[in-house]
Amino acid sequence: MRILIIEDEKKIADFIKRGLKEEGYSVDVAHDGEEGHFLVSANDYDLLILDLMLPKIDGLTLCKKLRSEKIRAPIIMLTAKDTVKDKVAGLDSGADDYLTKPFAFQELLARIRAILRKKDANAPTKLKVGDLALDLLTHKVMRGGQEIILTNKEFSLLEYLMLNEGNVVTRTMIAEHVWDINFDTFTNVIDVYINYLRNKIDQGHKKKLLHTIRGRGYLLKEE
């Protein structure tokens, strides 16, 4: 899941980003409304966390603008304004939820999970390729009846590969969906994580599922 935080208070933005990355999300940050609008227009996000008081373009105006441009990503509005009138204005502008500062990070996480569950209500909660199974709710991965322990980043990488079963995914595609916008696609980190994943899901199995397509990228499928 890829999330964009649009928040001008850098300490708050960094705090939220750090916490979300620890939960396995890919996170980008914008510090004003114009930058936020540019990033949303250029990238595909699963959810936006939008501050109300932003420089250049304020949160209410940006929210209305995004909805008028048919941007359907769920929006959680984050603000110090806590009157009923402010909440109604935020929700009426197109936000899906409204959280006031100061807030507990666990509450923000719960609201994110609730919104993403609603968004993906018709999406499968379990992915399967051959005898490899991934449960999006419990974060358990099994192959041949044996549980495989993955880090958050390995889980996110495997989820993306399984969602694209049978299709070649490039390093750039992986970088955009599993890492954040500042990730250097010319580093070998993706190759390292692919090797970590291959060792965990394919080692000891006759049928290999994770394949390297030389010069193109990676492919997850049954042989």
Q: Say what the pLDDT of residue 175 is.
A: 84
Q: Identify whether the C-beta of residue 122 lies closer than 8 Å to the C-beta of residue 128.
A: no
Whether residue 147 sits in one domain with residue 56: no
Q: Say what the pLDDT of residue 87 is.
A: 87
Whether residue 111 sits in one domain with residue 171: no
Asked whether the bond before 74 is cis by omega within 30 degrees of 0, the reply is no
Q: Which domain CATH number covers 184?
A: 1.10.10.10
Whether residue 130 sits in one domain with residue 109: no
Whether residue 110 sits in one domain with residue 92: yes
| Residue 183, token pair as written in the block | 């990730």
Whether residue 83 sits in one domain with residue 190: no
Whether residue 137 sits in one domain with residue 97: no
Q: What is the pLDDT along the chain (223 residues), one digit of tens a residue?
A: 889 999 999 999 999 999 998 888 889 999 999 999 999 998 889 999 999 999 999 999 999 999 999 998 999 999 888 888 888 998 999 999 999 988 999 999 999 988 887 776 656 678 999 999 999 878 899 999 899 999 989 999 999 999 999 999 998 888 878 887 666 666 788 999 999 999 999 998 999 999 999 988 999 998 7
Cα–Cα distance for residue pair 34/51, rounded to 1 Å:
13
Cα–Cα distance for residue pair 38/30, rounded to 1 Å:
9
Q: Examine the fold and report which residue of 119, 149, 165 is the final residue of a domain before the chain moves on.
A: 119
Whether residue 62 sits in one domain with residue 147: no
Q: Examine the fold and report which residue of 119, 147, 174 is the final residue of a domain before the chain moves on.
A: 119
Which of 119, 101, 99 is CA-nearest to residue 109? 99
**What is the value of pTM for the model shown?**
0.67
Q: Say what the pLDDT of residue 121 is.
A: 60
> Range of 176's domain?
126-220
Which ranges constitute the DSSP H helices of the chain?
A: 10-22, 33-42, 59-68, 84-92, 105-119, 152-163, 171-178, 189-201
User: What angle (nearest 5°) sits at the alpha carbon of residue 49, between those of residues 62 and 154?
Assistant: 135
* 94 contacts: CB under 8 Å, gap ≥ 6: 63, 64, 66, 67, 75
Q: Say what the pLDDT of residue 196 is.
A: 95
Whether residue 144 sits in one domain with residue 113: no
Whether residue 99 sits in one domain with residue 206: no
Cα–Cα distance for residue pair 93/222, rounded to 1 Å:
46
Q: Say what the pLDDT of residue 171 is.
A: 87
* 79 contacts: CB under 8 Å, gap ≥ 6: 51, 52, 53, 59, 86, 90, 98, 99, 100, 101
Whether residue 110 sits in one domain with residue 150: no
Q: Examine the fold and report which residue of 119, 150, 180 is the final residue of a domain before the chain moves on.
A: 119
